[in-house]
Each structure stands twice: as C-alpha cells, then as structure tokens.
Copies of this chain bind each other. A is one copy, B any other.
Amino acid sequence: MRDHFEVRDGDAAGRIGRLSVPRADVTVETPALMPVVNPNIRTISPGRIESAFGAEILITNSYIVHSTDDLRERALEEGLHDLLGFDGAIVTDSGSFQLAEYGDIDVTTREILEFQRDIGADVGTPVDVPTPPDVSRERAERELATTERALSDAESVDTGEMLVNAPVQGSTYPELREAAGRNAYATDLDVFPVGAVVPLMNSYRYADMIDIVAGAKRGLGRDAPVHLFGAGHPMMFALAVAAGCDLFDSAAYAIYARDDRYLTVRGTEHLEDLAYLPCSCAVCTAHDPDDLRACPDEERERLLAEHNLHVSFAEIRRVKQAIRSGNLLELVESRARSHPAMLDGYRALLDHAEQLEREDPASKGSFFYLSGESARRPEVHRHHERVTRLDPGGTVLLTEGGMPSGDVYDAAWRVVPPFGPFPRALSETYPLTGEVPARTDRHAREAAATGVARLVEANPETSFVLAHDDWPASALSRVPDRVETELVHSGR
C-alpha cells in the first residue's frame, strides 16, 4: 500500500489523486502537468509558472545540473528550490535521456540519486534505459533487465524523504511493459514513469502509446501514480488520463515557443500559418498574429510560451472537471477528432474496454452517445454483463417503443441502442439514463443486439419477442434464432 498517493475520484481508468511529496511538504493534485524547466534557459521563470499558472510541481534535469560546474556548486549550496525560485515539488530527471541520445553518461544510479538528494530534489530518478520502440524483443528484454537493476540499486540508496521514480520500460512490447510494471510496483519506490514514449508521440503513434500504457497499468497496482514521461501535448491529455496516467511533463510549451509553434487541444499550429489566434487566453485576447510576428524574438517566445502553458493547464483543469462530472470519455470523444492518429488512439483504448471497466465507477453523470465508437465504451460492456444476471421470466417483449400486434407478454422491457434490453426498474440508473442521438447508427444497434443475445443466452427457459425499429441485418444477425423479431416503428 502506497500511502503517499490517494485516489479520490475516477472515470474510465482516469482518476483524481493526491500525491503527497513529503520533502516539499506539498500535496500535488493529479492529473498534474509538470512544466520542464531547463536549468540554463528560463523562458518563463519558475516563480511565474507557480504564481500565474498554478503549477504545483515541475521537473528539471539533475544531470545537466551535475555536469555544469557552477550550477552544481550553486545547487549544492543553495538547494534546487532557491536556485530555481520554486516552492512546489521539484522532480529531477537523471540523464537517462542523455544516455539514450549519446550512449554514455558518467554517473551511476547511486551517484545521481545521492546528488539529487543532496541538492534537495523532492522526487529523484535512477538511471534507467529508455529502450526505443520497435527494437528486437531480445534487446528490449536485455535493456529492461538493466533498468530493473537500476531500480534495485535505487532501493539501496539512502534517499531520505525524497520520493523515487521507478521507470517502466519494455519498448513496444505490452507484455514486457506489464512485467516491468509488476516488477517496479514490487519495489519500495514511489512514482512510476512509463518511459521512452517520446518517439511514439513524435510519430503520432497514439494507438501504440495506449497499448503500452495499458500493459504497464496491468502490472502496476491501482495506487501507483503513473507518469507518462515526455508527454506534454494537451491534445492527448484526456486520452492518456482515461488510460490511467496521472502525471505529464511539458517541455513542449517552451521548445515549441522557440520555434514559433502554437499549441492547441486539436494539434499544433505554426504562427506563420495563423490569421487569427484561436484561443481565449490573455495573450490571444490582447494580440493578433501580426502583433506577435512583429514582436522582438525574445518577447514573442515568451508570449507563445505563456499561451502554450495557458492552453496546457486549462486542458488539465478540463480533464479534472470531466472526471468529477463523470464525462471523461465524452471529452476523449471530442479530442479523438483532432487527428486520425488520435482516433486510432481512442479506438485502441476501447480495445481495452474490459480493463477500463474494472476501474470505471458504476454510476456517473450522464452517458452521451457521440459516435460509432461510443458503442464500445466500458459502460456498454458492463450493461451486457449485467443483463446476464437478470431473468424476466415467461414470455417477454423486448421493444424499442413499438407494440407488435397480438400476443400477451409476461413482461415488456425497453431496448435502447447501444445498451440493449433492460427492465423498467433500471431505467433511471446509469448508463441507461444516457442521451442518444435521434439519428442512430449501425454500431449502436449492433451493440443493442449483443445485449439482447446476452440476455437470451442467459435465460434458456424464457421466450422472447423483439420489436425493433428497422435494425440492419448486421444487428439482426446477432440476435439468437429463437427470438421472434418484428419490425415495429417506434414513432421516435
């Protein structure tokens, strides 16, 4: 039991949590965005990131501090909080990225963790191996073994009150990620970064990202705070949170700004392509694109970085509110329409509907049917499970609203796509209170037919008549043969 992380509220596999960071004496509410602060370059000062944007936690690279003489001396003398001018929690990365990029670094896990402890980091990181995507399974396993030795080394370091990251690697092998998650969770380390996803993000492989996160989550306990390391684009926060990620880090806000790139929840724009600033933040309300283009470089970079942070923090608030309102998957539905690769990511998430269903609360705000994908949501699976435990008895009419001619029934149940059949007694329960479009679709009717099939198969003694409003063959073919079906317009 990890008593420094408490899950307060959930939706799909997403949750609102409280990460206690004892060394900083702060509690960080998750999902949280950690702006990356380069100790050498300050586009926006950490103090302003705290006061104007409400950041409770940031991340910086201890390897850069360690390998820069004057930074190292000052950090050891003043401590990281004074060096950066930030009162919240400070996470330090270890140099693993540099290891992956340059093949070699000159610190061990023990050395860097002791250094992180000595400069006052609140969360430290061992030297793991960020294995890239698509390598051979052999290499992924070999490097994972090295990462796992680093975790074991980290456990033996006296880190005091500092929390310690336990990175989960395994390249693009979900089952290795699961094993890595299980191993990391078994250590006494504290926070669980899913590593080496940056190359996937850069090539828009959101479906692969989801499969990896789902793998890692299967290995980790529910009380493990999960950091999607290197993921900082607001377009994918909702999706990644729905898959169970709690922490994000954004270097993008500053790096993109340097390059005149402008973040939105629907993708990235280049300032040169903008005729309007499609955002409600203070920067975008007070300027137009020509104003920004006319600014001196440094001022423009700062303004774009501020916009990028505003958009990113607002999306985190939006995601948290969606969890509280119980409509996180509705937000994901919207974000899935940002890019075809985001749709792939959402479709991949729905492949894990049963895994999500185990964490998803049984009752939430209101289910909205928003696309063919909605028919595959965990709530629909759960309802189909639920109907197998019900027995209407006798001769039962299942109807979309119309009444067939003749016959007397022992019970009449409503059928609503995508859920399928349910007794009146359940009609005021989630998700059956949900809203569906008047213009329904095949996916919803096919899912409803699956619900009918589950009910019928679970009740071999009961007779069923289905009054449907013009279901397509692809739906009717799912209905067991022994069900009498009749097309009766429901007058909807």
Contacts and interface: CB of A to CB of B under 8 A. Distances in A.
Contacts of A317: 276-279, 284
Interface string A105-119: 000000000000000
16 contacts: A207-B438, A266-B330, A266-B334, A275-B321, A275-B324, A276-B317, A277-B317, A279-B280, A280-B281, A280-B310, A333-B337, A334-B334, A338-B370, A339-B435, A344-B437, A474-B474
Nearest to A333: B337
Contacts of A330: 266, 337
A336 B370 contact: yes
Given A340-B369, A474-B474, A282 B279 contact: no
A314 B279 contact: yes
A325 interface: yes
Number of copies of this kind of chain in the complex: 2
A447 interface: no
A371 interface: yes
Interface in A202-250: 207
A437 B330 CA distance: 20
Nearest to A368: B340
- Most B CB atoms within 10 A — which of A274, A320, A438, A443? A438
A343 interface: yes
A388 to B, nearest CB: 27
Contacts of A340: 368-370, 435-437
Nearest to A29: B276
- Most B CB atoms within 10 A — which of A311, A320, A330? A330
Contacts of A313: 280, 285
Nearest to A338: B334
A331 interface: yes
Contacts of A341: 435, 437-438
A310 B281 CA distance: 8
Contacts of A338: 334, 370
B279 A344 contact: no
Interface in A305-356: 310-311, 313-314, 317-318, 320-322, 324-325, 330-331, 333-341, 343-344, 347-348
A273 interface: yes
Nearest to A264: B318
Nearest to A282: B282
B370 A337 contact: yes
Interface residues of A, number: 59
A-B complex: 6 closest residue pairs judged by Cβ atoms:
A278-B318, A280-B314, A276-B317, A333-B337, A280-B310, A334-B337
A42 B353 CA distance: 50
A155 interface: no
Interface in A416-446: 435-439, 441-443
Contacts of A343: 369-371, 437, 439
A53 interface: yes
Interface string A256-282: 000000000010010001111111111
Given A280-B314, A334-B338, A348-B439, 19 more contacts: A266-B330, A276-B321, A277-B317, A278-B314, A278-B318, A279-B314, A279-B317, A280-B280, A334-B335, A334-B337, A337-B337, A338-B370, A339-B435, A340-B369, A343-B369, A344-B438, A344-B439, A371-B373, A474-B474
A276 B324 CA distance: 9
A441 B372 contact: yes
A439 B207 contact: yes
A61 to B, nearest CB: 27
Nearest to A320: B276
Contacts of A278: 314, 317-318, 321-322
A52 interface: yes
A460 B314 CA distance: 57
Contacts of A435: 339-341
